[in-house]
């Protein structure tokens, strides 16, 4: 059973409705914050060099959109202090070693590491523990950074703050200083609406006080608002996680507490989405009505030579030429790109079937497979060698994903359905073959397959509820997707809408301008 069962046949009509509703919502948001803006102007004056402190949640999928937002701020004349945990700071500094200079000069982009409270060697994928330790370890350093301490590098005090919605406890320090604040939600507006609306779900008997579904099966379906599609409580983000029920309960309370605090305390709530993508969510009767969509936030930027280059501050390596050279040699629309993000897991048996499907599949289609070291270790060496030596494919530990997806040789994207990957596939017009594993990935899959209809499911049942997907099934699904002209047409239309939203008179660009003006005051 899936999160949504709504079918929307007329994409253009739906998107037009969403654009009208979001324009109304944007106007209300501007009115809502005008009083605060005037008060901030009186407090801070007309600063010549605004200085934004940015604090993402310490996960790759959150750091990436935050760094793009940082570069947007740099483009508009802001200085930026970008705060990672010490653990992630070391990673981004290493990855940035060969990257192009930051916009406006490297001295205006300051990368800072702060402790997360975890010891060396501790499992930072244990989100329950990490969430607890961060709130104890980070505030003293954040207070000093806001006041221009910790070296400062000539940037002075922060004049505004943008935090991850999952780090909204950090807003208190900014509010004590009277600074303009924003919270950025890095996933879909649909998932945010569910989290913000959790109290009504408890009241209506959909979930209990700890987020668990009260009913299983057909009785677990609900609607948060008339404009929103039906949803299934079984697959709410916190209920489909690896680990125990206790872990899911603690994540539920963390997500809801931080989301409610972000709504209550931040002067503006941003989301990495665009109005035409989620028109049923960004409506007056939705729990996400106060959100300003500013996406899709790019993960690459054009260089002077017209090529797309990774942003300074990502977890990326600077050299992706081996991947691109391989793609240059392939026919248009032929390559299967495979990448499962930084956290998705897969059993050794399932990895084996996927490897055989790619290396020995009957179609012999070219493939580019990003197999991070943690997953590669689950494959026998001889099978890894077989895949790596396949003449029609490439096995890599890392790829410049948006540059890959923008390449004309790529025909489809086999993905875990993380939100960044979903947006990158859409903004590049690439059909998606969905293989989700946990949290919001099942919600994203349902939008991809049932609402936008720009992709297909790898399997009809949730991962873990059935046996291993065979190599024959994998090949069959790839061929079905690559041969579906309707999917290609629909994802091409969404690509056009995505580009329109962030250019010219696009609504996301207008919302970004509203946000920038609020942060300047």
CA atoms within 13 A on the CB side of 429: 16
Residue 136: burial class (beta carbons within 10 Å; 0-12, 13-18, 19+):
exposed
Residue with tokens 């790829």: 399
What is the reported pLDDT for 6? 27
Question: What are the Cα distances from residue 504, in Å, to 61, 68, 406, 499?
Answer: 27, 19, 21, 9
Q: In sequence order, which residues have a C-beta less than 8 Å from that of residue 301 and are 6 or more positions away?
A: 71, 103, 308, 309, 311
Q: What is the largest CA-CA distance in the chain?
A: 69
3-state secondary structure 205-226: CCECCCCCECCCHHHHEECCCC
pTM of the model: 0.85
Cα 489–Cα 445–Cα 237 angle in degrees, nearest 5: 155
Cα 92–Cα 296–Cα 199 angle in degrees, nearest 5: 95
- 471: closest CA among 319, 361, 323? 361
- 94: closest CA among 374, 403, 398? 398
Q: In sequence order, which residues have a C-beta less than 8 Å from that of residue 197 and are 6 or more positions away?
A: 224, 287
Ranges of the chain whose pLDDT falls below 50: 1-47, 102-105, 302-310, 312-313, 464-465
For the chain, domains (ranges, CATH) are 11-189+266-299+501-520 (3.40.50.2000), 321-399+408-498 (3.40.50.2000)
Residue 328: burial class (beta carbons within 10 Å; 0-12, 13-18, 19+):
exposed
Contact call for residues 232 and 2 (beta carbons, < 8 A): yes
Contact call for residues 405 and 424 (beta carbons, < 8 A): yes
Residue with tokens 């590669």: 376
For 365, phi then psi, to 5°, come to -65, 145
Size (the chain), residues: 521
pLDDT digits (tens, 9 = 90+) for 47-73: 458 999 999 999 888 999 999 999 999
Q: What is the four-CA torsion angle of 264, 265, 266, 269, rounded to 10 degrees?
A: -20
Which 3 state secondary structure label does DSSP give 164?
strand
Residue 503: burial class (beta carbons within 10 Å; 0-12, 13-18, 19+):
exposed
Strand partners, 131: none
Cα separation, 98 vs 96, whole angstroms: 6
Which 3 state secondary structure label does DSSP give 49?
coil
pLDDT digits (tens, 9 = 90+) for 135-152: 999 999 999 999 987 655
- 454: closest CA among 418, 490, 478? 490
């Amino acid at each position: 059973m899936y999160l949504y069962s709504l079918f929307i046949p007329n994409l253009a009509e739906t998107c037009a409705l969403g654009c009208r509703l979001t324009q109304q919502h944007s106007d209300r948001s501007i009115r809502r914050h005008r009083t605060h803006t005037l008060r901030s102007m009186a407090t801070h004056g007309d600063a010549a060099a605004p200085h934004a402190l940015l604090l993402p949640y310490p996960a790759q999928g959150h750091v990436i959109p935050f760094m793009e937002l940082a570069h947007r701020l740099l483009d508009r004349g802001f200085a930026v202090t970008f705060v990672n945990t010490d653990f992630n700071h070391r990673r981004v500094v290493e990855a940035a070693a060969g990257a192009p200079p930051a916009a406006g000069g490297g001295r205006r982009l300051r990368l800072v590491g702060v402790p997360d409270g975890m010891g060396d060697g501790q499992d930072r994928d244990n989100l329950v523990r990490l969430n607890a330790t961060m709130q104890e370890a980070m505030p003293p350093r954040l207070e000093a950074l806001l006041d221009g301490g910790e070296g400062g590098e000539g940037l002075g005090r922060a004049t505004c703050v943008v935090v991850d919605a999952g780090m909204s406890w950090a807003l208190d320090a900014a509010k004590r200083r009277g600074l303009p604040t924003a919270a950025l939600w890095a996933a879909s507006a649909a998932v945010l609406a569910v989290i913000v609306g959790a109290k009504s779900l408890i009241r209506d008997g959909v979930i209990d006080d700890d987020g668990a579904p009260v009913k299983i099966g057909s009785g677990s379906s609900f609607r948060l608002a008339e404009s929103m599609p039906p949803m299934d409580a079984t697959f709410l983000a916190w209920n489909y996680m690896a680990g125990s029920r206790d872990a899911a309960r603690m994540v539920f309370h963390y997500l809801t507490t931080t989301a409610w605090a972000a709504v209550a305390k931040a002067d503006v709530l941003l989301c990495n989405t665009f109005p035409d993508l989620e028109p049923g969510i960004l409506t007056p009767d939705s729990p996400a009505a106060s959100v300003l969509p500013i996406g899709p936030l790019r993960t690459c930027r054009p260089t002077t030579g017209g090529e797309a280059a990774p942003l300074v501050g990502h977890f990326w390596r600077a050299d992706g030429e081996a991947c691109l050279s391989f793609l240059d040699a392939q026919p248009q629309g032929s390559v299967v790109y495979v990448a499962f993000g930084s956290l998705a897991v897969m059993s050794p048996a399932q990895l084996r079937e996927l490897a055989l499907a790619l290396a020995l599949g009957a179609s012999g289609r070219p493939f580019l497979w990003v197999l991070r070291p943690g997953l590669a270790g689950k494959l026998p060496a001889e099978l890894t060698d077989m895949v790596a030596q396949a003449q029609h494919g490439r096995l890599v530990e890392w790829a410049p994903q948006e540059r890959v997806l923008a390449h004309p040789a790529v025909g489809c994207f086999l993905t875990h359905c993380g939100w960044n990957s979903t947006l990158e596939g859409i903004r590049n017009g690439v059909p998606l073959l969905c293989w989700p594993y946990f949290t919001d990935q099942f919600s994203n899959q349902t939008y991809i397959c049932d609402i936008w209809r720009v992709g297909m499911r790898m399997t009809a049942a949730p991962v873990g509820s059935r046996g291993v997907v065979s190599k024959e099934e994998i090949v069959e699904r790839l061929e079905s997707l690559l041969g579906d002209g309707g999917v290609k047409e629909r994802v091409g239309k969404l690509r056009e809408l995505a580009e329109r939203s962030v250019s010219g008179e696009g609504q996301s660009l207008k919302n970004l301008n509203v946000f920038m003006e609020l942060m300047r005051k």
